A and B are shown apart, each in its own frame.
Chain A
Amino acid sequence: MFIYVLAAILALTLSGYVIGQRRSLKLAGGEARSLHSRPGYYGAYVAAWVGIPSLILVLIWLLFQGPVIDALLLASLPDEKTANLSSAQVSLLISEIKQVSRGNIFGQPDQAILDAGVRYQNWRLIASWSMLTAAISLCLAGLVINRARIAPAFRARQRVEGVMTGFMIACSIAAILTTVGIVLSLLIEALRFFSLVSPLDFLFGLRWEPQIAMRADQSLGSGAFGAIPVFLGTLEIALFAMLVAIPIGLFTAIYLTEYAHPKFRAVIKPVVEILAGIPTVVYGFFAILIVAPAFKNFMNSIGIDAAPNSAFVAGAVMGIMIIPFISSLSDDAITAVPRSLRDGSYALGATQAETIMQILLPAALPGIMGGVLLAVSRAIGETMIVVMAAGIIATLTLNPLEPVTTVTVQIVTLLIGDTEFDSPKTLAAFALGLVLFTVTLCLNVIALRIVQKYRERYD
């Protein structure tokens, strides 16, 4: 039914456009220049008034139709059926009625339920038809009223542009609202967690053992939610990733922009960028099947014992994955430095290396910082490589040869499988998410400040 309503609104909107356009041309005696706006704007004006109000009506209608019908159903049931029911039992009752109305009858439902099922069917039908009628009448009202407002002096273009501006504002607000929603949901769940586990224990505790006992007398039954090892692991792996990615990415960019032959650059640049397109799970294979054994053998051969899942291997492979973020953005930033600055430096007798170090890199720094930031947030948020290559046990260590775990990996493991949304084990995931979000937000703010400071000095 919803599809038919949409189709009807769309058809009426289109005809509104044609009617508005024809009407304006007719009033102008076929002479489009005597109109205030071009005929298309009159059409668009009428179309906007036909389509937008009824679309909004339908959306609001759909939002309220379900709850209103449910409430009516509940009220129509005999009192003894609904008395003393918890909210979960009420929703069970209502879904039973809905199943009955669709013909899925299990067991022997009593007469009241069967009657309610029939009522539900009828009400839904009535609601749909009245929605269709209301939407179409709103369309037609908009069409008639606004067609009458068309006159050669009517400022249709400004109205249509106003509508477009409103649409764009709505779109940008949608992104903001989504962010606010995400933050709120994180915050609410995290607060529930912090009512079970003290924030101090969470933020400064040194043990992360989120298992909750199946039986009351089990050992380690209480679990430990000290997030320090998890965050330390995250930072350690991100650090190794950046140690690999920043030099390789930056020197790749410098070579490609300043030294490489254009033909070579045309081949190498896309090939490097392929690295960013490889699925992270493939990097995970690569890390665990090839890099980790090779690294372990190498370390053993020089007499050092290394775990098969090590922070170093996970970080290094992640670093390879984020090379293109740094090389590509640095490349763009360096290329964007004007030719005239290079010429000015060379004309003073500077060598190519001096020009790169003292003119190009400082001038390109904001762009390079942007690339590094993107890479850091990618490194902190990356999950798959770490799950496969670094492990899921939170060890409090700075040794790069030991397995560590990261925030994202812990969130995944906490939410996999049978989860209850009131145990601290599950809620801990939200607290971790909240802290991760705060950390990346702070990183971004700090980095933006740095970039701005340099802009002031270098622009």
Chain B
Amino acid sequence: MNERPNLNQAGFGNLAPAPKGLLARGDTSGRIRVVGRSVSVFYGEKQALIDVNIDILDKSVTAFIGPSGCGKSTFLRCLNRMNDFIDAARVTGSVEIDGVNIYDPEIDPVQLRARVGMVFQKPNPFPKSIYDNVAYGPRIHGLARTKSDMDEIVITSLEKAGLYKEVKDRILEAGTGLSGGQQQRLCIARAIAVNPEVILMDEPCSALDPIATARIEELIDELRQNFCIVIVTHSMQQAARVSQRTAFFHLGTLVEEGETSEIFTNPRQSRTQDYITGRFG
């Protein structure tokens, strides 16, 4: 926890954030950031996720693939405790981020979610201006003392999300007036504005056209240098393109997890092979 890199000091204020950000996080590269142990999720009587064990590395993109209903989104939502909002959902096992179990009763899920950002399947900008969308999180968490600090956070976040150039002349107009791809990048800017350690993406491109998708994929690749990113995707090409590690889920279990190149060229499990070659799913 105490070695949590402070992107706010390191990255913000510098319009070309990558080198400084890299330096600040250099010591965590390749480190295991998130550890899931025996994670099971029950929706009422039904078990949606069965005994998942996984290590997720920092500064890399981990893709969760698998057929619909396999539990990959459910597991993703365990990582920032969004499952708490489903009354019938019950999580057992442990999820540790930087060595702290986030299901510990002493952990406040509200604070946790500031450390674990999330981007959703459908772009969901707030019905506010572009500026207020990005400033929403920093305002809540008191990340900016002055107006100019806030301006800087907003502009840097928009730049990191590759949106600043397109919106700089209408930053006070409604975020809902942007195109779908721009809205999704706004949501990414909003998530990184609170300076999270982990960013979860739940099929972030499924509502976008191919060009907007390509733009987001590039962005994910850039963000990898500063964040630990977990992405759920239905597109195996996307998983192959953007991720360094891939986890294949099937029927609520984690079938196989490893280097993306390994999973796609030389899977150990026959079920993984069948899925990635399109024999089912």
Contacts and interface: CB of A to CB of B under 8 A. Distances in A.
A30 B141 CA distance: 77
A163 B120 CA distance: 50
Given A340-B122, A458-B174, A459-B174, A348 B127 contact: no
A354 B140 CA distance: 8
A162 B117 CA distance: 57
Contacts of B191: 347-348
Interface in B148-185: 174, 176
Interface string B109-134: 01111110110101011111100000
Given A340-B124, A459-B127, A349 B137 contact: yes
Contact of B140 (A340, A344, A349): A349
A362 interface: yes
B110 A362 contact: no
B113 A457 contact: no
A341 interface: yes
A42 to B, nearest CB: 48
Contacts of A459: 127, 174, 176
Interface in A319-333: none
A449 to B, nearest CB: 19
Nearest to A343: B120
A348 B117 contact: yes
Interface string A354-375: 1000110011000000000000
B136 A340 contact: no
B190 interface: yes
Contacts of B187: 344
Contacts of A346: 82, 85, 113
B124 A362 contact: no
A350 interface: yes
A351 interface: yes
A67 interface: no
A341 B117 contact: no
Contact of B80 (A344, A347, A457): A347
B194 interface: yes
A345 interface: yes
Given A344-B120, A344-B187, A349-B141, A358 B194 contact: no
A359 B137 contact: no
A103 interface: no
A358 B187 CA distance: 17
A358 B138 CA distance: 13
Contacts of A338: 124
A344 B126 contact: yes
Nearest to B80: A347
Interface residues of A, number: 20
Nearest to A352: B110
Contacts of B141: 349
B113 A341 contact: no
Contact of B110 (A344, A351, A359): A351
Contacts of A341: 124, 126-127
Contact of A348 (B113, B125, B128, B174): B113
B140 A458 contact: no
Contact of A347 (B82, B125, B127, B129): B82
A63 B24 CA distance: 91
B194 A344 contact: no
A416 to B, nearest CB: 51
Contacts of B194: 348-349
Nearest to A340: B124
Nearest to B139: A358
A347 B136 contact: no
Given A457-B174, A458-B127, A348 B137 contact: yes
A457 B80 CA distance: 31
Interface string B83-125: 0010000000000000000000000001111110110101011
A309 to B, nearest CB: 46
A348 B82 contact: no
A337 B128 CA distance: 14
Contacts of B118: 343, 347
A64 to B, nearest CB: 59
A349 B82 CA distance: 11
Contacts of A354: 140
A350 B124 contact: no
Contacts of A350: 110, 136-137, 140
A75 to B, nearest CB: 73
Interface in B224-270: none
B102 to A, nearest CB: 13
Given A351-B110, A459-B176, A363 B117 contact: no
A358 B80 CA distance: 21
A233 to B, nearest CB: 40
A459 B176 CA distance: 7
Contacts of A343: 82, 85, 118, 120, 124
A363 B113 contact: no
Contacts of B126: 341, 344-345, 359, 363
A340 B126 CA distance: 9
B128 A347 contact: no
A458 B124 contact: no
A8 B212 CA distance: 68
A457 B177 CA distance: 10
Interface of B: 80, 82, 85, 110-115, 117-118, 120, 122, 124-129, 136-137, 140-141, 174, 176, 187, 190-191, 194
Given A343-B124, A349-B141, A457-B127, 4 more contacts: A344-B126, A358-B140, A458-B127, A458-B174
21 contacts: A341-B127, A343-B82, A343-B120, A343-B124, A344-B126, A346-B113, A347-B82, A347-B113, A347-B120, A348-B136, A348-B194, A349-B140, A349-B194, A350-B137, A354-B140, A358-B136, A362-B127, A457-B129, A458-B128, A458-B174, A459-B176
Closest 6 CB pairs of A and B: A349-B114, A347-B118, A340-B124, A458-B127, A348-B137, A349-B113
